[in-house]
Amino acid sequence: MHLLALTSMAVRPALADLAPLLHAHGAPVRFEAAGGVETARRIRAGAPADLAVLAADALAALHAEGLTEEPRPLWDSATVAAVATTAPPAALDTVDDLRALLTAARAVAHSTGPSGTALRALVDRLGLTDRVRLVQAPPGTPAGSLLADGRADLAFQQHSELAGLPGVRVLGPLPGDTAITSTFAAAVLTGTTRPGPARALLDLLASDAAHAAALARGMRPHTPARPR
């Protein structure tokens, strides 16, 4: 019998790559991906699932509500900027480059997830709130899709969600102290009827083999922040 893991869209590519490995280790699992907000809503509504893989902040909130066991941080993912493949070359080496891209764009697309929240805060910190038109992609829809159909000139999202999208060219991560990094974590749901296999699956997701799949999709094993 397959376990069911509810996940955000950002980790879907890495988890899809991992599925054969998990099956080979006796942990067959079916992943259902949706926007992070929708996935958290489903868990709060009592969706019959075994595990969740979401942004660490979202899982921490679910854990505080008693809906998950202790979350385990897995991977860090950088937010990247992207343009349409038909756009002229653009630099993204300095904060001034980023400012120029933001203010020149007719519309800037972002997601409903943690990268979108962080981007809005960054635009405000840069003093560009009144100069940048931000457009939120629908839940579960890559921000890059708004580039491909001309609704935006610039998009920001997790690298795993933008890389390989038709009509989209990734410029790279944000420069200097404007860099945005999201941590993704996994946790066993307290409502699971198979806690033992779900915990074994969590151990596999935290393994070196799983980290290799995440690296191939532009993420890296989580590094705890150093105390200041």
Fold identical between 3-76+183-221 and 77-178? yes
> What confidence score (pLDDT) does residue 81 get?
96
What pLDDT digit, counting tens, does each position of 75-117 carry? 999 999 999 999 998 999 999 999 999 999 999 999 887 888 9
Q: Which residue has the tokens 């931000």?
A: 134
Domain ranges for the chain:
3-76+183-221, 77-178
Q: Regarding beta strands 51-55 and 3-8, do their DSSP bridges make them parallel or antiparallel, or are they unpaired?
A: parallel
CA separation for the pair 124, 198 (Å, rounded): 41
Q: Write down the pTM of the prediction.
A: 0.85
**CATH class, range 77-178:** alpha beta
> What confidence score (pLDDT) does residue 23 get?
83
| pLDDT confidence bin for 228, thresholds 50/70/90 | very low
Q: Show the DSSP H helices in 29-130 as ranges.
A: 36-44, 56-64, 95-104, 114-125
How many other CB atoms are found less than 10 A from the CB of residue 193? 9
Half-sphere exposure of 121 (CA within 13 A, CB side): 9
The CATH superfamily holding the domain 3-76+183-221 is: Periplasmic binding protein-like II (3.40.190.10)
pLDDT of residue 225 exceeding 50: yes
pLDDT of residue 169 exceeding 50: yes
